[in-house]
Amino acid sequence: MLKTLIKKEMIETVYDLRFVIASLLFITLIPLSMYVSRIDYEQRLSAYQQESQIWRAHHGTPEWDSKGHGFRAPPVLSVFVLGLDPYLPDEVVTDFSGVFQTVKEPNTDGALAVLLGQIDFRFCMVYVVSLMALVFTFNTISGERERGTLRLLIACSVPRGTLLFCKWLSKTLVLIIPFLVAVCIALLVLNASPQI
């Protein structure tokens, strides 16, 4: 009985238009955000390498008792989650007494970017996947009741806990499939970069 209920719920979900929309949203948004993050990381890495090479060519290797200059390399995992990386300074100058100052001011894109963050993998996980989970399950029980199939299921002496478990499991499995396909495509996009 459990297998039949799960199969029924999965078939209903796959034939629904919401599944197609969620699949298209996952398959376009997640790889696209990974591509944009990859390009952004490659640009930040090349800027870091150019700045440090220019400084070393001009100043040479710094002595311990002289003024120090530090560059911060972009983290590799910022491809997945940008986090606070755009707001941290990329360059710091320290003198012998230990007083430091940031040479390059951090980039701020505005209040909305600070509040929501950049559209990266974390954004897709937090907002898009959560929204799709809500869209998939918002009328699970009420839709059965409107169609009249809930009475038939309860009349067949299916326990309510089993019915809820089957609905939860089938919706989760159906949501995971397009998400995993999108993540695999995004990892292939990421693998195309020679610097990562």
What is the structure's pLDDT at 18? 86
pLDDT for residue 168 is more than 80: yes
Give pLDDT, residue 68: 64
What is the rounded distance in angstroms from the CA atom of residue 130 to the CA atom of residue 78?
22
Handedness of CA 176, 182, 184, 186 (dihedral sign): negative
Q: Work out the percent of the chain whose per-residue pLDDT is above 70.
A: 83
pLDDT on residue 65: 43
What is the pLDDT at residue 105?
A: 52
Q: Which of 101-105, 149-153, 159-163, 183-187 has the lowest mean pLDDT?
A: 101-105
Q: Taking each helix axis from N to C terminus, what angle separates 130-137 and 17-59, rounded to the nearest 10 degrees?
A: 180
- What would the pLDDT profile of 37-87 be if each residue is shown by its tens digit? 899 889 889 988 888 888 778 777 655 444 566 778 888 888 888 777 777
Confidence (pTM)? 0.76
Q: Where are the domains of the chain?
A: 2-59+116-191
Give residue 24's pLDDT: 93
Round to whole Å and give the CA distance between 29 and 18: 16
Strand partners, 70: 92
13 vs 107, more confident? 13
List the Cα angle 49/50/56 in 5-degree steps: 90
54 is written with which tokens? 């220019």
- pLDDT confidence of residue 115: 61
Q: What is the mean pLDDT of residues 25-45?
A: 91
Place of tokens 């002496």: 157
How large is the C-alpha radius of gyration of the chain?
Answer: 25
CA distances from residue 166 to 1, 5, 10, 163, 169 in whole angstroms, order as listed: 10, 6, 9, 5, 5
